[in-house]
Chain A
Amino acid sequence: MIKSPLRIAIYAFAVLCAVVFLYPLLFSFQNSLKDNTEIYGDAVFSFPSDWLWSNYKQAVVDGNMLWAIFNSFFYAAAGTLLALLLALMASFVLSRLNFKFREVIYLYFITGLMIPVFSLMIPISRLIGTVNGFNNYFVLIILYAVIELPFAIFLISGFMRGISKEIDESAVIDGCKPRTLLFRILLPLTMPAISTAGILAFFSIYNDLIWNVLLITDKNMYNISMALFSFVGQYGAVQMGPTFASIMITIIPTVVVYLLFQEKVENGLSAGAVKE
């Protein structure tokens, strides 16, 4: 390989960018093990002289961070499963069956992609208020699932349309019921779209902020965003170590999941960005 100056310059740029993207995270990790004196001190780049794991203990005990992570996982897992089930049923009807107004109903669902959910926070919290749905796992999970619906339907029905219709015909001739056709035959074939939609829904629910802010006041139901907010609000700049520790705790599970499922996460999230 020829080591031209240009090549070296590009490589230097690549390394520089990696530092810009990763160093703030490393820095936060270092700070999460320091006390205030060291954080405000001059040794910016060094690891602490004494690794204060007690900062993490404080975040876990006082901030209830592990429970918040569990909550976030629970919301995300349940919400994603429900969203996928509903989207799968709708997609089956909208892409495999022939009936009146099919196209209109499809468009009706896809319109949801153009509606920014943040603009709906007033009516939705009012709606939840009228059914006394504040601090309710069940209500929150349904809300999360439905918010993910339009895109999941868009992805899954688009993929299902590409599967040969002959499969349905031969299945029906063999006496297959719609339910069996969908869950036994089409579901495995649609797996690529389902997993993309699932990853996207999972991340978006896991990281949710606004619905937890608006609909949850019970500390035991806080997700990571709310737990972080309340913990940081309490300690903030006064005790930087625990603050950074709580931030790191919420970051680590996501990093692990990402490193385990790299390709899938990358493809899922970039497909999600191209929503409209």
Chain B
Amino acid sequence: MFGRRVYPTVILFLLPVFVLYTLIFIVPVIQTAYMSFFSWNGIKSVPLEFVGWSNYADMFSKPEFYRSLKNVGVFILASFVLILPIGFTLALIITSKMRGRRFFKVAYFMPAILPLTSVGLMWQFLLKGDGGFVNKILELMGLGVLQQDWLGQPAIAIYVVVVVNAWIYVGLNMIIFASGIVSISDEIYEAASLDGAVGWRKILYITVPLMRETFKIFSVLAVTQSLRVFGQIFVMTGGGPNGATDVPTTMLYNESFKYNNFGMGNSIGTFIIVTGFILTVLLNKLMSSKESR
């Protein structure tokens, strides 16, 4: 099309996008990697000091760093034990012929669209130690002994955050599962009914196997998105108490913008980029090779 005259169009249409994208995505990636070999306190006039691999050495010798990785692991685990089963069940409900399914869909999806900062802060207050909503409910149920400062206890804070995270994102995953469910044709179900399949058998032997693709996408997302978690933690705990809920992204923020240790921040940034890249490629390969079998 347009023969040789295509190039002026290409340049005119693509150049601005190309420049902006390179400036804001690609150059910063290179800078992150480059600056991870320097020590810098964040003040413009102070020059960078070359320190070799020492930022990485510091990072890998910090117990906090491993705890942040463990917390990512908790997020991944929760995706499979909380979000997957609940999201899938809710998807079955809203795709069934149950009365009120439209209302249910809106109800379940609602938290996912609300501003993360708003729901995060809301839960921060609902989970408060004194006079918090959760504690009050527990008291009314006669479970007063369980009352505590839910986000203030290092031992449980990350699990509380993960449950709130599930509350927020189950609805979104429900929609993804639901679109997988409705893409299965009715004829298959009819044929199965003729063969005597009923109720949960239909779900177990038809719906679940035919949704393999959707589950694969979910799994890849569960892992890669867990590595990117930021807002939920930043809003609810800021990584505290005492770093107990830190994930790599919040650790990056705290090291850099709180403690002015930008060198370490950049080594964490590089770690996130490289790990994310490897995981994405690896998972996609793994998933597609299983398919070809």
What residues of chain A have their CB less than 8 Å away from a CB belonging to chain B?
Answer: 6, 10-11, 13-14, 17-18, 20-22, 24-25, 27-28, 39-40, 44, 86-87, 89-90, 92-94, 96-99, 105, 108-109, 111-112, 114-116, 118-124, 126-127, 129, 142-143, 145-147, 149-150, 153, 165, 168-169, 172, 178, 182, 203, 206-207, 209-210, 214, 224-225, 228-229, 232, 237, 240, 243-244, 247, 250-251, 254-255, 258-259, 262, 265-267, 269-270, 273-276
Which of B44, B175, B227 contacts A266, CB < 8 Å?
B175
> Cβ of B9 and Cβ of A22 under 8 Å apart?
no
A17 to B217, CA, bound (A): 25
Q: How far is the CB of A184 from chain B (nearest CB, A)?
A: 15
> Cβ of A240 and Cβ of B125 under 8 Å apart?
yes
List 8 A-B pairs, Cβ < 8 Å: A11-B98, A24-B123, A116-B273, A122-B32, A123-B31, A149-B17, A251-B118, A269-B175
> Cβ of B136 and Cβ of A44 under 8 Å apart?
yes
Which of A98, A146, A203, A210 contacts B113, CB < 8 Å?
A203
> Cβ of B175 and Cβ of A214 under 8 Å apart?
no
Say yes or no: A228-B118 contact (C-beta < 8 A), given A119-B249, A274-B217: yes
A129 to B122, CA, bound (A): 33
Chain A residues with CB under 8 Å of B75's CB are none
> Cβ of B228 and Cβ of A150 under 8 Å apart?
no
Residue of A nearest to B253 (CB): A121
Q: How far is the CB of B253 from chain A (nearest CB, A)?
A: 7
A96 to B10, CA, bound (A): 11
Which of A6, A25, A116, A147 contacts B24, CB < 8 Å?
A147
> Cβ of B32 and Cβ of A119 under 8 Å apart?
yes
Which 7 residue pairs across A and B have the least CB separation, nearest first? A123-B28, A225-B117, A123-B31, A119-B269, A270-B175, A18-B107, A89-B13
> Cβ of B9 and Cβ of A149 under 8 Å apart?
no
A112 to B26, CA, bound (A): 8
Q: How far is the CB of B69 from chain A (nearest CB, A)?
A: 15
Residue of A nearest to B269 (CB): A119
Chain B residues with CB under 8 Å of A96's CB are 1
Chain A residues with CB under 8 Å of B269's CB are 119-122
Which of the candidate stretches B54-62, B184-192, B229-237 sits at the interface with the other chain? B229-237
Say yes or no: A247-B121 contact (C-beta < 8 A), given A20-B167, A93-B10, A116-B228: yes
What residues of chain B have their CB less than 8 Å away from a CB belonging to chain A?
Answer: 1-2, 6-7, 9-10, 13-14, 16-18, 20-21, 23-29, 31-32, 35, 44, 86, 89-90, 93, 98, 100, 103-119, 121-123, 125-126, 128, 130-131, 133, 136-137, 140, 167, 171-173, 175-176, 179, 199, 217, 220-221, 224, 227-228, 230-231, 234-235, 249, 252-253, 256-257, 262, 265-266, 268-270, 272-273, 276-277, 280, 284
Q: How far is the CB of B147 from chain A (nearest CB, A)?
A: 13
Residue of A nearest to B9 (CB): A178
A112 to B280, CA, bound (A): 13
> Cβ of A120 and Cβ of B122 under 8 Å apart?
no
> Cβ of B6 and Cβ of A225 under 8 Å apart?
no
Chain A residues with CB under 8 Å of B273's CB are 115-116, 119
Say yes or no: A114-B277 contact (C-beta < 8 A), given A18-B103, A122-B35, A262-B106: yes
A99 to B5, CA, bound (A): 10
A244 to B130, CA, bound (A): 16
Q: How far is the CB of B101 from chain A (nearest CB, A)?
A: 8
> Cβ of A224 and Cβ of B136 under 8 Å apart?
no
Chain A residues with CB under 8 Å of B130's CB are 40
Q: How far is the CB of A21 from chain B (nearest CB, A)?
A: 5
Chain B residues with CB under 8 Å of A209's CB are 116-117, 231, 234-235
Residue of A nearest to B102 (CB): A262
Chain B residues with CB under 8 Å of A129's CB are 44
Chain A interface secondary structure, helix, strand, loop or mixed? helix
Q: How far is the CB of A246 from chain B (nearest CB, A)?
A: 9
Q: How far is the CB of A41 from chain B (nearest CB, A)?
A: 9
Residue of B nearest to A109 (CB): B21
Say yes or no: A90-B17 contact (C-beta < 8 A), given A10-B98, A44-B140, A97-B2: yes
Q: How far is the CB of B199 from chain A (nearest CB, A)?
A: 7
A122 to B32, CA, bound (A): 8
Residue of B nearest to A25 (CB): B110
Which of B98, B126, B128 contacts A27, CB < 8 Å?
B126
Chain B residues with CB under 8 Å of A259's CB are 106
> Cβ of A112 and Cβ of B25 under 8 Å apart?
yes
A270 to B126, CA, bound (A): 28
A258 to B140, CA, bound (A): 34
A182 to B1, CA, bound (A): 13
Which of B25, B112, B121 contacts A269, CB < 8 Å?
B112
A43 to B221, CA, bound (A): 42
Chain B residues with CB under 8 Å of A40's CB are 130-131
Chain A residues with CB under 8 Å of B262's CB are 122
> Cβ of B227 and Cβ of A115 under 8 Å apart?
no
Which of A10, A114, A169 contacts B276, CB < 8 Å?
A114
Which of A18, A250, A258, A273 contacts B104, CB < 8 Å?
A18
> Cβ of B110 and Cβ of A22 under 8 Å apart?
yes
> Cβ of B21 and Cβ of A14 under 8 Å apart?
no
> Cβ of A123 and Cβ of B234 under 8 Å apart?
no
A175 to B118, CA, bound (A): 53
